[in-house]
Amino acid sequence: EDQVTQSPEALRLQEGESSSLNCSYTVSGLRGLFWYRQDPGKGPEFLFTLYSAGEEKEKERLKATLTKKESFLHITAPKPEDSATYLCAVQANQFYFGTGTSLTVIP
């Protein structure tokens, strides 16, 4: 069964404390993996698309990586404004979303 699993479900970090979020997937024929950020009461905001194992993309304090079975979103020296839910989605024959990781960065 095609599936996307994100971990942890929730993460609390001190400001400046780097960490990683995980997105593991079991789909046939991966066409792309997407990361989104979602703030409370708002729609998901696109961050990155990764297409092949070994690919990496960066934006400010965020770096996304992809292997054949999972993707990581690394957050370096996070700030309180990075607090949000981070969603992962994979595209195979259709799009599959994970349930997200709720990140709280404490000043």
Partner 1 sequence: ETGVTQTPRHLVMGMTNKKSLKCEQHLGHNAMYWYKQSAKKPLELMFVYSLEERVENNSVPSRFSPECPNSSHLFLHLHTLQPEDSALYLCASSPSSEETQYFGPGTRLLVL
Where do contacts with partner 1 occur on this chain (CB under 8 A)?
4, 31-32, 34, 36, 41-46, 49, 87, 89, 91, 94-99
Instruction: Write down the least CB distance from residue 78 to partner 1, Å.
Output: 23
Q: Which is nearer to partner 1, 63 or 96 (CB)?
A: 96
Cα–Cα distance for residue pair 3/72, rounded to 1 Å: 16
Q: Which is nearer to partner 1, 39 or 58 (CB)?
A: 39
**Dihedral (CA of 10, 6, 60, 37) sign:** negative
Structure tokens at 77: 């020296």
